[in-house]
Structure 1
Amino acid sequence: MLAGIPIDFWLFALTLLGVAVLHHHTLAVALTGAAAIATYKLLFGDFAGVPGFAGLAALFGHEWVTLANLLGLLLGFALLADHFERSRVTELLPRVLPDDWKGGFSLLLIIAVMSSFLDNIAAAMIGGAMAHALFRGKVHIGYLAAIVAASNAGGAGSVVGDTTTTMMWIAGVRPGQVFEAYVGAAVAIVFFGVIAARQQHALQPIMRDNPVGVRVDFARLAVVALMLGAAIATNVGLNITHPQALSRWPAIGIAVWVALLATAGWRRPTWALLPGALKGSIFLLALVFCAAMMPVKALPAASWQSALGMGFVSAVFDNIPLTALALRQGGYDWGFVAYAVGFGGSMLWFGSSAGVALCNMYPQGRSVGSWLRGGWHVAVGYVLGFMALLVLLGWAPDAPAMR
Structure 2
Amino acid sequence: MFLLMLVVFVLGYGFIVFEHVNHINKAAIALFIGSVCWAILSLSGESILGLGFSSAWNNFLREGGSLEEITHFITHDQLMHHLSEISSIIFFLIGAMTIVELVDKYQGFKVITSKITNSNATKLLWIISILTFFMSAVLDNLTTTIVILTVLRKLLTQKDNRWIFASMVVVSANAGGAWSPIGDVTTIMLWIGSQVTAAHIISSVILPSIVNMLVSTFLFSLLTKGKTIRPVLDTNETDEFTTQKERVFMLSVGVAALLSVPIFKTVTHLPPFLGMLFGLSIMWIMTDRYLKNRSEEDKRKLTVMAAIKAIDIPTVLFFLGILSAVAALQTAGHLDVMAQWLDDEVKNIYAINLIVGIVSSIVDNVPLVAASMGMYHIAAADATGYMANFIQDGNFWSFLAYCAGTGGSILIIGSAAGVAAMGIEKIDFMWYLKKASWIAFVGYIAGALTFYLQVLLF
- TM exceeding 0.5: yes
- Rounded to whole Å, the distance in 1 between the matches of 2:196 and 2:314 is 36
Shift of 1:304: 1.4
The equivalent of 2:445 in structure 1 is 383
The equivalent of 1:337 in structure 2 is 400
Q: 2:318 aligns with which of 273, 276, 283?
A: 283
The equivalent of 1:20 in structure 2 is 17
Deviations 1:135-191 (A, max 9, x none): 269674454343233122123334554565564595565835752323322332133
Residue 183 (str. 1) matches residue 207 (str. 2)? yes
- The letter for the 1-side match of 2:318 is F
Deviations 1:104-142 (A, max 9, x none): 232111111233444444433433333233226967445
Shift of the 317–177 alpha-carbon distance from structure 1 to 2, 3 Å rule, reads: closer
The equivalent of 1:321 in structure 2 is 370
- Rounded to whole Å, the distance in 2 between the matches of 1:125 and 1:70 is 16
Residue 263 (str. 1) matches residue 287 (str. 2)? yes
2:102–2:307 Cα contact (<8 Å) kept? no
Deviations 1:344-365 (A, max 9, x none): 3334556545556x45972736
Q: Give the alignment of 1:145-184 within 5 angstroms.
A: 145-159=167-181, 161-162=183-184, 165=187, 167=190, 170-171=194-195, 175=199, 178-184=202-208
Q: 1:305 aligns with which of 344, 351, 371?
A: 351
1:146–1:192 Cα contact (<8 Å) kept? yes
Shift of 1:9: 3.2
Shift of the 149–293 alpha-carbon distance from structure 1 to 2, 3 Å rule, reads: farther
SS of corresponding position for 2:302: coil
- The letter for the 2-side match of 1:217 is Q
TM-score for the superposition, normalised by structure 2:
0.68
Unpaired runs of at least 5, structure 2: 58-69, 292-297, 380-387
Shift of 1:292: 3.2
2:34–2:321 Cα contact (<8 Å) kept? yes
- Rounded to whole Å, the distance in 2 between the matches of 1:84 and 1:253 is 22
SS of corresponding position for 2:115: helix
Shift of the 208–272 alpha-carbon distance from structure 1 to 2, 3 Å rule, reads: closer
The equivalent of 1:8 in structure 2 is 5
The equivalent of 2:426 in structure 1 is 364
- Rounded to whole Å, the distance in 2 between the matches of 1:354 and 1:384 is 21
Q: Give the alignment of 1:4-403 within 5 angstroms.
A: 6-23=3-20, 24-26=23-25, 27-45=27-45, 49=57, 51=71, 52-54=74-76, 55-84=78-107, 87=110, 89-94=112-117, 97=118, 99-135=120-156, 140-159=162-181, 161-162=183-184, 165=187, 167=190, 170-171=194-195, 175=199, 178-196=202-220, 205=228, 207=230, 217-233=244-260, 235-246=261-272, 249-253=273-277, 255-256=279-280, 258-260=282-284, 262-263=286-287, 265-266=290-291, 268-269=301-302, 271=306, 274=309, 277-295=312-330, 296-297=335-336, 299=339, 300-301=342-343, 302-315=348-361, 316-318=364-366, 320-321=369-370, 324=373, 328-329=378-379, 330-331=388-389, 332-333=394-395, 335-348=398-411, 351-355=414-418, 358=420, 362=424, 364=426, 372-373=433-434, 375-376=436-437, 377-390=439-452, 392-395=453-456
- Rounded to whole Å, the distance in 2 between the matches of 1:154 and 1:72 is 20
Shift of the 87–189 alpha-carbon distance from structure 1 to 2, 3 Å rule, reads: closer
Shift of the 39–347 alpha-carbon distance from structure 1 to 2, 3 Å rule, reads: farther
SS of corresponding position for 1:25: coil
- Rounded to whole Å, the distance in 1 between the matches of 2:150 and 2:323 is 26
Shift of 1:239: 2.2
- The letter for the 1-side match of 2:14 is L
1:154–1:161 Cα contact (<8 Å) kept? yes
- Rounded to whole Å, the distance in 2 between the matches of 1:360 and 1:279 is 16
2:141–2:183 Cα contact (<8 Å) kept? yes
Shift of the 70–173 alpha-carbon distance from structure 1 to 2, 3 Å rule, reads: closer
Shift of 1:339: 1.6
Shift of 1:21: 1.7
- Rounded to whole Å, the distance in 2 between the matches of 1:347 and 1:384 is 13
1:149–1:343 Cα contact (<8 Å) kept? yes
1:178–1:338 Cα contact (<8 Å) kept? no
SS of corresponding position for 1:205: coil
Q: What is the aligned-residue RMSD (CA, Å)? A: 4.2
1:75–1:281 Cα contact (<8 Å) kept? no
2:186–2:401 Cα contact (<8 Å) kept? yes
Deviations 1:348-384 (A, max 9, x none): 556545556x45972736x766654554132342123
Shift of 1:70: 1.8
Shift of 1:225: 2.1
Deviations 1:285-323 (A, max 9, x none): 323333333322474345211121232344424265356
- Rounded to whole Å, the distance in 1 between the matches of 2:140 and 2:378 is 25
- Rounded to whole Å, the distance in 2 between the matches of 1:256 and 1:200 is 40
TM-score for the superposition, normalised by structure 1:
0.76
- Rounded to whole Å, the distance in 2 between the matches of 1:190 and 1:253 is 34
Shift of the 16–364 alpha-carbon distance from structure 1 to 2, 3 Å rule, reads: farther
- Rounded to whole Å, the distance in 1 between the matches of 2:418 and 2:316 is 11
1:141–1:374 Cα contact (<8 Å) kept? no
Deviations 1:7-45 (A, max 9, x none): 433322222211222323223333333333232222224
Shift of the 338–88 alpha-carbon distance from structure 1 to 2, 3 Å rule, reads: closer
Shift of the 171–34 alpha-carbon distance from structure 1 to 2, 3 Å rule, reads: closer
Deviations 1:225-280 (A, max 9, x none): 212211211x122221122333xx54414523641563265463383893672233
- Rounded to whole Å, the distance in 2 between the matches of 1:361 and 1:80 is 23
2:180–2:198 Cα contact (<8 Å) kept? no
- Please identify, of 161-170 and 106-115, the stretch whose mean Cα deviation from structure 2 is larger: 161-170
- Please identify, of 304-313 and 128-137, the stretch whose mean Cα deviation from structure 2 is larger: 128-137
The equivalent of 1:401 in structure 2 is none
2:149–2:421 Cα contact (<8 Å) kept? no
